[in-house]
Structure 1
Amino acid sequence: MKLEIGNFHVREIVFGEKTGYSKGILTINKKETLDFIMEDEHITKADIYIVKPGDKVRLCPVKEAIEPRVKLNGDALFPGYTGDLSKAGDGRTHALKDCSILVVGKHWGGFQDGLIDMSGEGAKYTYYSQLKNIVLVADTDEDFEKREQQKKNTALRKAGHKLAEYIAECVKELEPEDIETYELDPISKRSTEVQNLPSMVFVMQGQSQMEDGAYNDLVYGWDSNHMVPTYMHPNEILDGAVISGSFMPCSSKWATYDFQNNPTIKRLYKEHGKTINFLGVIMSNLNVALEQKDRSALFVAQIAKSLGADGAIVAEEGYGNPDADFVACIVALEDAGVKTVGITNECTGRDGKSQPLVTLDKKLDAIVSCGNVSELIELPPMETVLGELEALGRDGLSGGWANDEIIGPSVRDDGSIVMENNAMFCGDQVVGWSTKTMREF
């Protein structure tokens, strides 16, 4: 497989008469774009905004982030989901870089939705404050779930995925400013020099706990709750084969943008042939029953060992119940003789003194921490709010609350907020670009 991603680096986004791209300027015809969004009968209200780093803007409830892209061969950007099933990870895809589509609810939020501040103290907690963002603020007729804590957000999220391809169509026929190339020889066909390097696999434990549809990560449009651990070419992950689900406390989520730009995959690619032999990705799952967790761990270890892996990196999407999958997987890999590093956040309580994972094992001796989901964050009022800040204060968003007997409400009368890191949109960035670090005292 050879994937080429042609990059167009967006310096500025503006509204104008015609959607197009020229010399770093992305222009969007707002009316035509909204007309496209409103083609979905389930979207009842919609508006589009442009926000950039440094803007005094707070977004909440944020539901999804996607990088605008288009495939030159006409295949769907997200095969099996936004269009017919086709192979991802091969050929040419054009991408609008340094920007994203953010999907924000006009009303209501669930514990899988989050908050982004584009400036001030809050901006440092999430990667998406660093991007120029096209913000879709919309509402739907999905009344049945508005007051539910767990929301599928089906229409809103799919509108964002389709919008990402719609906008990127303007660069389909243009010559990119630079091209990233991702190519791996078949494992058994690699040179002796590469074969002699330490062999590595990346194990991605995506969200798949919900048996009801439309909550879990999708793999080629297929609900990952139905899959067992599977070997995938890393190019497939980078090229739209996997999209984010709608069930996971928000700081732990992997947005679709995170799959498209997974920095751990890109770093493993960079080291391939130099310091390691990158074997590929084992796409695993997160389960609820203990037997299912153990079975998946055995699958992962068997695949890794059969591939000849000397080492592995394991990353989990979420925490709490998924910690048992995470630990079981690492233990199974270590028992199989595969040296393993884990990447995860921690749930150590507001005082930081609780056990970081729900289960532990002495074989977890190399863990990269992405921070404490329960850490309290206090932020001043923001000049502009897109969406509905009250969503944070309805006992809905994980990390926000209506009223705490000690701290008071999450959303105060003056617009200032206090919340747990849980509610920061993709704030932990377990995929590999967390800005957090450990400090010794």
Structure 2
Amino acid sequence: MKLELGNFYVKDVKFGDITAYENGILTINKEEALAYVMEDEHITEADIIIAKPGESKRIVPVKEAIEPRCRVNGNPVFPGVTGGMTPAGNGRTHALKNTSVLAVGKHWGSFGDGMIDMSGEGADLTYFSRLINICLVADTDEEFERFEQQKKNKALRWGAMRLSEYVGNAVKELEPEDMETFELEPIIKRDEKTNELPSVVYVMQPQSQMEESGYNDLLYGWDTNRMVPTFMNPNEILDGAIISGSFMPCSSKWSTYDMQNCPTIKELYKEHGKTINFLGVIMSNLNVAMEQKERAAAFVAQMAKSLGADGAILAEEGYGNPDADFIACFDALEDAGVKTVGITNECTGRDGQSQPLVVLSEKANAIVSCGNVSQLIKLPAMDEVIGELAALGRDGLSGGWEGDEKLGPSVREDGSVILENNSMFCGDQVLGWSQKTMKEF
């Protein structure tokens, strides 16, 4: 499989008479874009607002982030989701870099939503403050989940995907500014030099714990709760085969944008044939019952061993109950002779003194920490709120609250906020581009 990713580097986004891209400027016909999004009868009101790095803007509740893209051959960017079931990871896809489409609630938030500050201290706590964000701010008629703490947010998430495809088509016929090529030789047909290098597999554990459909990450439109560990070409992940779900404390979330640009996969590609033999990706899952966790771990270990892996990088989306899957997989890989490094965040309490993972193991002796989800954060007011600030406390966003006997409400009268790191949209970036570092004392 050979994926050609043609990149266009956006310097500015503005509204205009046509949707087009020229000399780094992305122009969007707002009326046309909104009409396209609102073809979905479940979206009752919508607006598009642009947020740029350095602006005094706070965006909340953020439900999803997507990189605007198009497939040159006309196939859907997200096969099995925004169109028919077509292969991903092969051919040419065009991408608008330095920008993302955000799905933002106009009135209501939920457990899996988060916050982005475009400037100040809060901007350091999420990657998306670096991007020019095209915010689809909308409401829906999904009354069945209006007051639920956990929402599927389907209409808004699908609306953002459709908007990203609409915007991405602006560069469909243009020549890219540069081209990234991703291609792995078949495992059994690699040259002698590559075969002599340490073989590494990347094990991804996307969120898949909800047994009711509509909450979990989707793989080619298939609910990941229904899957067993599966070997995949890494190009598929980079090319829209998997989309983010809505069930996940938000700092732990893997947005669709993150998976389209997965830094760990790209780094493994860079080292392939130089320092490692990158075998590919084992897409695993996160489960509820212990028997399911053990079964998935056994599948992963057997697959890695059969592929000839000497080492593995293991990443989980989430914390708490998923820690049991993470450690079970860690143990199974180590028992199979596959040296493993894990990447995860921690839940160590507001004072940082609690056990970092729900389950620990002596075999899991190489883990990269991406931060503490419970860390308390205080941030000043911003000049503008995109969405609704009250959602941070009123609707139970992970990390926000309506009232606390010691700390008071998350949202203060002056517009400042106090919250946990949990609320920072995709803030821990387990997929590889966390801005956080360890501090030595």
- Does the alignment pair 1:270 with 2:257? no
Report the Cα distance in structure 1 between the residues aligned to 2:8 and 2:291, rounded to whole angstroms.
Answer: 47
Deviation per residue, 1:139-173 (Å, 9 max, x gap)? 00001101101100000000001111111111000
Give the CA deviation at 1:395.
5.1
Report the Cα distance in structure 2 between the residues aligned to 1:97 and 1:411, rounded to whole angstroms.
Answer: 33
Deviation per residue, 1:164-220 (Å, 9 max, x gap)? 111111100000000000000000000000000000000000000001111000000
- Does the alignment pair 1:295 with 2:292? no
Tell me whether 163-172 or 366-375 shows the greater mean CA deviation. 163-172
Deviation per residue, 1:308-340 (Å, 9 max, x gap)? 000000000000000000000011000000000
Partner of 1:379: 379
Report the Cα distance in structure 2 between the residues aligned to 1:26 and 1:80, rounded to whole angstroms.
Answer: 28
Report the Cα distance in structure 2 between the residues aligned to 1:290 and 1:161, rounded to whole angstroms.
Answer: 34
Give the CA deviation at 1:430.
0.3
| Runs of 4+ deviating beyond 3 Å | none
Report the Cα distance in structure 2 between the residues aligned to 1:191 and 1:169, rounded to whole angstroms.
Answer: 39
Partner of 1:244: 244
Q: Which amino acid aligns with 2:385?
A: V
Give the fraction of aligned pairs with identical amino acids, expressed as a percent.
Answer: 72
Contact 2:108-2:395 at 8 Å conserved across structures: no
Partner of 2:344: 344
Report the Cα distance in structure 1 between the residues aligned to 2:112 and 2:395, rounded to whole angstroms.
Answer: 12
Q: Which amino acid aligns with 1:286?
A: L
Report the Cα distance in structure 1 between the residues aligned to 2:395 and 2:243, rounded to whole angstroms.
Answer: 27
Q: Which amino acid aligns with 2:21?
A: Y
Runs of 5+ in structure 1 lacking a partner?
none
Partner of 2:128: 128
Give the CA deviation at 1:74.
1.1
Partner of 2:5: 5
Partner of 1:141: 141
Report the Cα distance in structure 1 between the residues aligned to 2:13 and 2:412, rounded to whole angstroms.
Answer: 33
Deviation per residue, 1:282-313 (Å, 9 max, x gap)? 00000000110000000000000000000000
Q: Which amino acid aligns with 2:398?
A: S
RMSD: 0.5
Partner of 2:427: 427
Runs of 5+ in structure 2 lacking a partner?
none
Report the Cα distance in structure 1 between the residues aligned to 2:125 and 2:154, rounded to whole angstroms.
Answer: 26
SS of residue paired to 1:123:
helix
> Structure 1 length as normaliser, TM-score?
1.00
Report the Cα distance in structure 1 between the residues aligned to 2:344 and 2:377, rounded to whole angstroms.
Answer: 20
Count of residues in correspondence between the two structures: 441
SS of residue paired to 1:5:
strand
Report the Cα distance in structure 2 between the residues aligned to 1:44 and 1:394, rounded to whole angstroms.
Answer: 22
Q: For 1:325-336, list aligned pairs within 5 A.
A: 325-336=325-336
Report the Cα distance in structure 1 between the residues aligned to 2:410 and 2:340, rounded to whole angstroms.
Answer: 39
Partner of 2:417: 417
Report the Cα distance in structure 2 between the residues aligned to 1:10 and 1:136, rounded to whole angstroms.
Answer: 18
Q: Which amino acid aligns with 1:277?
A: N
SS of residue paired to 1:331:
helix
SS of residue paired to 2:390:
helix
Deviation per residue, 1:33-83 (Å, 9 max, x gap)? 111111110000000011110010000000000000000111110000100
